[in-house]
């Protein structure tokens, strides 16, 4: 295992299904505040799906290395430079996310080398690696795709193993789209009592919303009482074991600083475009462009409004770019009907189907 690989934390590994030679390795990265223990219910059922589930924590979360003082300083400098020198800020953030992408790339190399996982079989929808970044973690997926071709290929050709990269129920701004103006967000709600904010926010994020199909029909604030928000049915022990607040601190949290700076500098927009587009034919590549790897946008349609808005924008952009003849990776869309942002906790079997099932032949859409 390399020094880079050690910086990410493998929290849980279901292990290979007994006797299988074509199992799929699912690697999951978490979002903001809630770390990868939130996927723990997928681990005991992995074998039933001929899958191995590996839960990974990003830096600054339990089980992974913290960022160094120098790395934190780079994030702080990027925030400071946003107004005076936005291009410099974006360059700092781009370098940061390229390093983050390399951490993931090296982890995947390690998994292949250490565990001899089966290579991908696209036709059979078996084997290989499916990696997903949930919520804020989707930014690590766009960074990985955008930078993969810049990483040198050595003994292990990772392209033989990469089957699918999942943008897992993420917000519009995480993949660089403009958010809806004046839409409700608890952070901007001055009527919320400060001492109740954390709990009210947790309920809102984990709730079920009865949306329609257009922004005019989105439900921004009032969620269903049945099913109840996931947070309200978790035990206190479960809440404590899945959440880690420090990276989201509004003064010095690494995730918070990145979220603000990468959003305002336009980096998230650039990463999305470079993740979906294939390098031009005359590009001088160091590594493999992963041109056959499926990029899947996974939507839970009772999640928060800005997740539906992300899906709508991504669908529009992919259609427009295909029409314009811009070469793209294979992009597909999966919709989990009636599911909320915590489908892997509330309905783990459906989450496994959404991650693993193949899109029907001749279609870009899968409904679970």
* Mean of all residue pLDDT scores within the chain: 95
Identify the pLDDT of residue 226. Answer: 98
Look at the pTM and tell me if it is higher than 0.85.
yes
- The greatest distance separating any two alpha carbons of the chain, rounded to the nearest whole angstrom, comes to 59
**Measuring CA to CA, which residue among 280, 278, 283, 282 is closest to residue 293?**
278
For residue 1, pLDDT over 50 is answered with: no
Q: Can you give the residue range of the structural domain that contains 154?
A: 3-367
Domains contained in the chain, number = 1
Cα(112)–Cα(107) distance, integer angstroms: 9
DSSP reduced 3-state for 24? strand
Read off the CATH number of the domain in which 256 is found. 3.40.50.1820
Q: What is the mean pLDDT of residues 33-39?
A: 98
Task: Dump pLDDT digits (tens) for 286-334.
Answer: 789 999 999 999 999 999 999 999 999 999 999 999 999 999 999 999 9
Q: What is the mean pLDDT of residues 105-130?
A: 96
DSSP 182-247: T---GGG-TTS-GGGHHHHHHHHHT------SSGGG---SPPPSSSPPHHHHS-HHHHHHHB--GG
């Amino acid at each position: 295992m390399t020094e880079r690989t050690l910086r990410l934390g493998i929290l849980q590994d279901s292990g290979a299904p007994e006797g299988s030679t074509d199992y799929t390795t699912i690697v999951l990265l978490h979002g903001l505040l809630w770390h990868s223990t939130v996927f723990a219910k997928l681990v005991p059922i992995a074998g039933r799906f001929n899958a191995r589930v590996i839960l990974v924590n990003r830096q600054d979360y339990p089980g992974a290395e913290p960022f160094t003082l120098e790395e934190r300083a780079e994030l702080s400098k990027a925030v400071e430079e946003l107004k005076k020198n936005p291009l410099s800020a974006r360059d700092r953030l781009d370098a940061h996310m390229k390093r983050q992408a390399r951490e993931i790339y090296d982890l995947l190399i390690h998994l292949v080398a250490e565990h001899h996982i089966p290579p991908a079989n696209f036709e059979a929808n078996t084997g290989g690696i499916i990696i997903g970044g949930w919520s804020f973690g989707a930014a690590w997926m766009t960074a990985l795709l955008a930078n993969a071709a810049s990483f040198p290929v050595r003994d292990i050709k990772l392209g033989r193993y990469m089957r699918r990269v999942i943008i897992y129920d993420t917000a519009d701004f995480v993949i660089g789209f403009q958010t809806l103006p004046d839409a409700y967000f608890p952070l901007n709600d001055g009527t919320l009592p400060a001492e109740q904010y954390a709990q009210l926010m947790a309920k809102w994020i984990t709730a079920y919303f009865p949306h329609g199909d257009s922004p005019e029909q989105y439900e921004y604030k009032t969620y269903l009482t049945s099913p109840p928000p996931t947070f309200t049915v978790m035990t206190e022990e479960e809440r404590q074991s899945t959440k880690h607040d420090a990276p989201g601190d509004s003064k010095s949290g690494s995730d918070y600083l990145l979220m603000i700076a990468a959003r305002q500098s336009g980096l998230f927009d650039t990463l999305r475009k470079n993740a979906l587009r294939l390098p031009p034919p005359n590009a001088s590549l160091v590594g493999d462009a992963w041109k056959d790897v499926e990029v899947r946008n996974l939507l839970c349609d009772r999640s928060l409004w800005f997740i539906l808005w992300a899906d709508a924008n991504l669908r529009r952009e992919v259609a427009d770019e295909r029409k314009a003849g811009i070469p793209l990776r294979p992009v597909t869309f999966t919709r989990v009907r009636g599911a909320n942002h915590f489908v892997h906790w509330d309905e783990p079997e459906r989450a496994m189907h959404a991650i693993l099932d193949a899109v029907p032949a001749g279609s870009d859409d899968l409904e679970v």
